[in-house]
Amino acid sequence: INEAIESGAGFIDFSGHGDTKTWFTYPPSTGDIKLPPPSGYNTTYISTLLNQGKLPVIVVGACNVGRYTLDEHCFCWSLLSQRDGGGIAVFGPTHISFSYIGERAPDGLNGEMQIDLFKAYANGALTVGEMWSEALNIYIPVNPTSTDYLVTMEYQLFGDPMLSIREGSSKPPEKPVIKGVNHGRIKKTYTFKIYSKDPDGDAIYYYIDWGDNTSSSWIGPYTANTTVEVSHTWVERGIYTIKVRARDEHGLMSTWSNPLIIRIRGVKSMWRNILDEILCWVS
């Protein structure tokens, strides 16, 4: 197995049985012999991989291979974290790998999930995260069973979802710009303008951190290279740092914007309003 991995591959699929340290399978005729002999392919073999510069996306279909809550150096994590080789991204179950048996194995559950990951790539996924989300969309049936829910919950990605996996993959949006007032009053709503360019013209989503322990969550999609208006109300006095991040429809994210500092004061008293009117009249 190590020789095959070190020779170079874009994708690798392990389908069989496992535990937190080992993947293995059995020959068709008997369940008495583990393959590869004597006891399967384990993290000790992974630690000797020397395929640096030839890092594949790896899919593992076996019980517990990604069960990091039981073993933080589990099989999937070992493949990802191996310094001299391994994989650049790894998918695998974090608990029981629910599967059909025999010829029905690809028809649903873990067997189908493995195939759907490759379908997602064939459908044009540009990043690991898009490959994962598209596979989930393909897999989830109209009327899912409780086991289908478990499959989608327990299958996990080990790796960076923003990782590009296709030549000519799209580029992330440019650092967004936010413009607006830099002072205001509590309980008043203020509108800000945000803008980002996308080199590929992809639709853009924005995430705004308002600096008061609240955020907008991801909003969008918006047409690329257009200005978007967003509003917010602060309920306490203070100095707040607003910042924005953009991501495109493929999940590629920009860096954070330069911060916009806003100072929020309290509500004016009646006497303050009268004084302001007098000062305005005198001037």
| Tens digits of residue pLDDT in 231-243 | 999 999 999 999 9
Domain segments of the chain as ranges = 2-158, 177-265
Helix (H) or strand (E) segment spanning residue 206: strand 204-209
3-state helix, strand, coil in the chain (%, to 5): 25, 30, 45
Q: Which one-letter amino acid corresponds to residue 174?
A: E
pLDDT at 271 over 80: no
Residue 49 Cα distances to 9, 42, 85, 200, angstroms: 13, 12, 5, 37
Quick one: pLDDT at residue 203?
Answer: 93
| Tens digits of residue pLDDT in 73-130 | 999 999 999 999 999 999 999 999 999 888 888 999 999 999 999 999 999 898 999 9
**Weakest mean pLDDT among 122-126, 258-262, 266-270:** 266-270
Pick the CATH number of 177-265 from 2.40.128.110, 1.20.120.1730, 3.40.50.720, 2.60.40.10: 2.60.40.10
Q: Which two tokens stand for residue 199?
A: 């080199």
CATH code for residues 2-158: 3.40.50.1460
pLDDT at 277 over 70: no
**Weakest mean pLDDT among 11-20, 51-60, 132-141, 167-176:** 167-176
**Residues present in the chain in total:** 283
pTM above 0.95, yes or no: no
pLDDT at 268 over 80: no
Quick one: pLDDT at residue 169?
Answer: 61
